[in-house]
Amino acid sequence: MRVVARRTGLSPDLLRAWERRYDVVRPTRTDGGQRNYSDADIERLQLLVRATHAGRQISQVAELDNDALRRMIAEDLAATPVTIASAGDQAAVAAFMDDALGAIESFNAASLEATLRSAALHLPSEEVLDLLFGPLLKTIGMRWQEGRMPPANEHLATAVIRRVLTWMMDFPNVRPDAPSIVVGTPAFQNHDLGAMLAATAASLSGWHVMFLGANLPAAELTRAAGMVNADTVALSIVHPTDDSRVSDELRELRASLPKTVGLVVGGAGASAYLGLLDEIGAHRMDSIRTLRAWLGSRAELHRRASAV
């Protein structure tokens, strides 16, 4: 139950109440009487938590199947107006940031995961990515480089952030006719959390996302894009920033992709390749907000083309 509480944000008391009153899941029991929850149980509980955080009562949603819950969550997300963070939101983001950094410093993975999941459930998706996850990753990287964060703490933090972003990518109910995007890092780039942040933003923007992780050669990125009929390939470059092999990979990728497939590149190290990106016609993304705007325009072109 402790594991389930950590992964869903539900307190053990509330979890027991939901089981007793609404029969939301039916965990098995060990010989000693302890509950055993399956991955399917946890997935359903996460969906129910997401639905209730949108303002619905558990009694209204407990009998819905998972597909109906996903549709409801997607409708609630679509109905939420996109606004600039208010003073209250900024205070909430700052509090989540402080709690997250405190959990990392105290080597408390459970607290960090609960904090990030709570932020994802309480803040608009744009704000939680732009104002919390992005700055948190930069702060972790800066402190690690300056020797102010031990390697084990940095590894704990990135493992938890990776897990929460994967969970967030499961939120949307993407339309079957939505455009597809392949996301990863080029060969010789082994840091893929920035790419994962971009993949999460694309998923929450209504795109079909194929996240491939780090260190993929141009030939494999091209093959993957063809297999999913991708509209766009998005890459993150972090370190190293002076590798001629990365330049060669980017040239090969742009040459091998169909001209209709967009190529976008972001990450802390992308600015070192600005001349090359201009040369090959790739689009430089300097923030998740910029990427989201570009994806919106691209999705609209895709919709118009599909309607013809």
Torsion of CA 270, 275, 276, 281, to 10 degrees: 100
Note whether 195 and 297 are same-domain residues.
yes
C-alpha 191/C-alpha 196 separation (Å) is 10
Q: How far apart (Å, rounded) are the C-alpha atoms in residues 157 and 112?
A: 8
**Position 209 confidence tier, pLDDT thresholds 50, 70, 90:** very high
Q: Are residues 186 and 244 in the same domain?
A: yes
Please report which confidence band the pLDDT of residue 170 belongs to, taking 50, 70 and 90 as the band edges. Answer: confident
How much is the average pLDDT of 45-68?
84
pLDDT value, residue 84: 40
184 and 282 inside one domain: yes
pLDDT above 80 (res 5): no
Tell how far CA 114 is from the center of its chain: 16
Specify if 175 maps to a domain: no
**Chain segment 62-72, per-residue pLDDT in tens:** 999 998 888 88
Res 83: pLDDT: 43
pLDDT of 89 strictly over 80: no
The residue from 32, 58, 79 where one domain ends is 79
Q: How confident is the model at residue 87 (pLDDT cuts 50, 70, 90)?
A: very low
Same structural domain for residues 197 and 271? yes
pLDDT bucket at 118, cuts 50 / 70 / 90: confident
User: 294 in a domain, yes or no?
Assistant: yes
Last-in-domain residue among 35, 60, 79: 79
Residues 167-182 have a mean pLDDT of 84
pLDDT tens, position by position, 8-40: 777 777 888 888 888 999 888 888 888 888 988
| pLDDT beyond 90 at 302 | no
- Amino acid identity of 238? V
List 213's β-bridge partners, or say none.
Answer: 184
- 203 and 271 inside one domain: yes
Final residue belonging to a domain, choices 43, 62, 79: 79
What is the CATH classification number for the domain harbouring 20? Answer: 1.10.1660.10
What does the pLDDT look like over 239-258, one tens digit per residue?
Answer: 888 889 999 999 999 999 99
- Report whether 280 contacts 250 (CB < 8 A): yes
Look up the CATH number of the domain holding residue 200.
Answer: 3.40.50.280
**Count: domains in the chain:** 3
What does the H/E/C string look like for the chain? CHHHHHHHCCCHHHHHHHHHHHCCCCCEECCCCCEECCHHHHHHHHHHHHHHHCCCCHHHHCCCCHHHHHHHHHHHHHHCCCCCCCHHHHHHHHHHHHHHHHHHHCCCHHHHHHHHHHHHHHCCHHHHHHHHHHHHHHHHHHHHHCCCCCHHHHHHHHHHHHHHHHHHHCCCCCCCCCCEEEEEEECCCCCCHHHHHHHHHHHHCCCEEEEEEEEECHHHHHHHHHHCCCCEEEEECCCCCCCHHHHHHHHHHHHHCCCCCEEEEECCCHHHHHHHHHHHCCEECCCHHHHHHHHHHHHHHHHHHHHC
Residues 37, 103, single domain; the answer is: no
Task: Give the pTM.
Answer: 0.70
Q: Kindly state whether residues 98 and 74 are assigned to the same domain.
A: no
**Any bridge partners for residue 233, and if so which?**
182, 263
Q: What are phi and psi of 181, to 5 degrees?
A: -135, 140
Any domain includes 110:
yes
Query: Is residue 174 included in any domain, yes or no?
Result: no
Question: Is 55 a domain residue?
Answer: yes
pLDDT in tens, 211-241: 999 999 999 999 999 999 999 999 999 988 8
| Model pLDDT, residue 15 | 85
Question: How confident is the prediction for the chain on average, in pLDDT?
Answer: 87
- Mean of the pLDDT values across residues 130-141? 90
> Same structural domain for residues 299 and 214?
yes
Give the span between the Cα atoms of 66 and 47, in whole angstroms.
Answer: 7
Cα–Cα distances (Å) from 44 to 8, 113, 114, 213, in that order, read 10, 18, 17, 26
Task: Specify the CATH number for the domain of residue 143.
Answer: 1.10.1240.10
Same domain as 301, residue 196: yes
Q: Do the domain assignments include residue 54? A: yes
71 and 92 in a common domain: no
State the pLDDT at residue 88: 52
Domain range for 60:
2-79
pLDDT higher than threshold 50 for residue 123: yes
C-alpha span between 79 and 89 (Å, rounded): 19
Residue 171 pLDDT class (50, 70, 90 cuts): low
Percent of the chain having pLDDT more than 90? 49
**Would you place residue 135 in the very low, low, confident or very high pLDDT band (cuts 50, 70, 90)?**
very high
Tell whether 104 and 215 lie within a shared domain.
no
Which residues, 6 or more positions from 150, have their beta carbon under 8 angstroms from its beta carbon? none
**CA 215, 218, 221, 225: dihedral to nearest 10 degrees?**
160
Check whether residue 145 and residue 211 sit in a common domain. Answer: no
- Is the pLDDT at 295 greater than 60? The verdict is yes
Residue 145 counted as domain residue: yes
